[in-house]
Amino acid sequence: MSCGLDYGLADHLLELPRADAENFSAVVAALRGFQSAQVSEGFSDRVMAAVKASEKREGRRIYRQFKPVSPWHFLKIAACAILALSALAFLADRWFSSNAPAENRDVAWLLSAQEPDGSWDPAKHGGSAAYRPALTALSALALAREGGTQRQAAISRACRSLAASQLPSGCFGGTGRQEQYNHAITTFALASLAPQFPEVRPAVAKALEFMRSSQRAAGGWDYVDNSDGNTALTAWNLRALACAEKQGFAEARTLRCRGLRWLRNAVRSEGRVVYHTDSRESESESLTALAAYALLDAGGQYPELERLGRVVAGRLTVAEDSGTDSYRDYAKALAFAAAGESAQSRRVAERLRRSPSATDDDAWGMVGGRLYTSALAILAN
């Protein structure tokens, strides 16, 4: 450097900004001009004391500028953040509930309503606890309509719960009407899920044994004494047996053949069906649809039953019926689809999907409440 400084100081000045280095060099040069001057005693100590005092004052100023924040301040910030996130989550949930497809809303609700043991409790959602096995089975079937890790885990828990609830007799609980419907619907669900969850096969085998022991001599099933069967319960058992037969349960075939023979005899003139073989012809569309579906489902093996099923299905209407009846609409959607009438099936299913949670006026609301309407709305589509 041109200022005549020694090498050590010059090397140090290279670390400073150019302007600071030039000013410092000027000061040094000025001081060197006073070589003859004597520095008073203690000068260095006074200079260093002044520097330390200046640093202390500067430190207090910086501390005041950057004063440590109280922990309570962070707690207040965290609380505000939590409230903000909760509000956003609430608004997002409201938006999803209003704008998501009805099926997605029902699926999300079913997942949230599952009990820790894997079952669903209809008593918590407007239904009867007596039908817990059947409602658990229908809910699991509804979730199985599409894949997904969360759904698969929920279905697996439901299967374990149903298998654990099975009694030594093979049935799934209840008495009378409850026992028979719980058993038929649960057996159908487990047989349907057996390909994805083979661990349920032992439970299906035990369930078929109960079906065999409860089948009447004439071939039907009923929940009252002195009856050779009723059409609704027999149709549900036939559906379960058809599914079990497809999954390789050979014993289901004989039981199903006997049941189909009984159902064929329950059809009267022009496709009208009876509830009991000794009762009058019924105008119930629920009963008509259940019988039509069971007969059409057997059509691949028995062409004459398919022809009869089409005659029975021909009595069904697509127009809205009086009152809300999820059971009826579900059965009608199945029957129309089995008859190849896809447009009619979609119209009925859409009606069921429009108000899946409106259980107060539903004819079957007291049985399964929202579980029933939500599961059937998914299964009908």
Q: Tell me: pLDDT of 252 over 90.
A: yes
pLDDT the model gives residue 97: 41
How many angstroms separate the CA atoms of 268 and 280, rounded? 10
How many angstroms separate the CA atoms of 378 and 172, rounded? 24
pLDDT the model gives residue 381: 81
* Residue 381, number of CB atoms within 10 A of its CB: 17
Mean pLDDT over each residue of the chain, to the nearest integer: 82
Confidence of residue 285 (pLDDT cuts 50, 70, 90): very high
**DSSP output for 202-244:** HHHHHHHHHHHHHS-TTS---SSSS-S--HHHHHHHHHHHHHH
Query: In 3D, which of 373, 381, 287 has the Cα closest to residue 334?
Result: 381
Q: Tell me: pLDDT of 70 over 80.
A: no
How many angstroms separate the CA atoms of 166 and 174, rounded? 11
Output the six-digit token pair for 217: 């001599």
Q: Tell me: pLDDT of 344 over 60.
A: yes
| More confidently predicted of 252 and 18 | 252
Output the six-digit token pair for 42: 């203690």
- Mean pLDDT to the nearest integer, 130-155: 92
Residues 269, 255 contacting (CB under 8 angstroms): no
Residues 214, 254 contacting (CB under 8 angstroms): no
**Which amino acid type is present at position 95?**
W
pLDDT the model gives residue 360: 54
3-state SS assignment for residue 274: strand
- Mean pLDDT to the nearest integer, 10-39: 60
215: left (phi over 0), alpha (psi -120 to 50) or beta: beta
**DSSP output for 156-186:** HHHHHHHHHH--TTS--S-STHHHHHHHHHH
pLDDT the model gives residue 60: 55
How many angstroms separate the CA atoms of 274 and 96, rounded? 45
pLDDT the model gives residue 92: 43
How many angstroms separate the CA atoms of 227 and 272, rounded? 20
* Residue 250, number of CB atoms within 10 A of its CB: 9
Give Cα separations from 369 to 83, 174, 254 (angstroms).
34, 18, 35
- Mean pLDDT to the nearest integer, 42-66: 61
| More confidently predicted of 69 and 237 | 237
211: CB partners within 8 A, 6+ apart: 170, 183, 187, 221, 237, 240, 241, 255
- Mean pLDDT to the nearest integer, 60-83: 54
3-state SS assignment for residue 118: coil
Chain mean position to CA 40: 89
- Mean pLDDT to the nearest integer, 156-162: 97
315: burial class by Cβ within 10 Å (0-12, 13-18, 19+)? middle
How many angstroms separate the CA atoms of 129 and 88, rounded? 36
- E strands, the chain, in order: 273-274, 281-282
pTM, full prediction: 0.72
| More confidently predicted of 51 and 283 | 283
Confidence of residue 45 (pLDDT cuts 50, 70, 90): confident
- State the number of CA atoms in the 13 A half-sphere of 34 facing the CB: 7
pLDDT in tens, 112-121: 999 999 999 9
Confidence of residue 325 (pLDDT cuts 50, 70, 90): confident
Residues 109, 126 contacting (CB under 8 angstroms): no
- Top-ranked range on mean pLDDT: pick from 6-10, 62-66, 71-75, 343-347: 343-347
Query: What does DSSP assign to residue 324?
Result: B
Confidence of residue 93 (pLDDT cuts 50, 70, 90): very low
- Mean pLDDT to the nearest integer, 263-285: 92
The phi and psi torsions of 341 (rounded to 5 degrees) equal -95, 75
- Mean pLDDT to the nearest integer, 66-78: 55
pLDDT in tens, 174-222: 888 899 999 999 999 999 999 999 999 999 999 999 999 999 999 999 9
Confidence of residue 145 (pLDDT cuts 50, 70, 90): confident
- Mean pLDDT to the nearest integer, 104-125: 93
What proportion of the chain, given as a percentage, has pLDDT over 90?
A: 56
Confidence of residue 368 (pLDDT cuts 50, 70, 90): confident
The phi and psi torsions of 267 (rounded to 5 degrees) equal -95, 130
pLDDT the model gives residue 2: 42
Confidence of residue 225 (pLDDT cuts 50, 70, 90): confident
pLDDT in tens, 327-343: 999 999 999 999 999 99
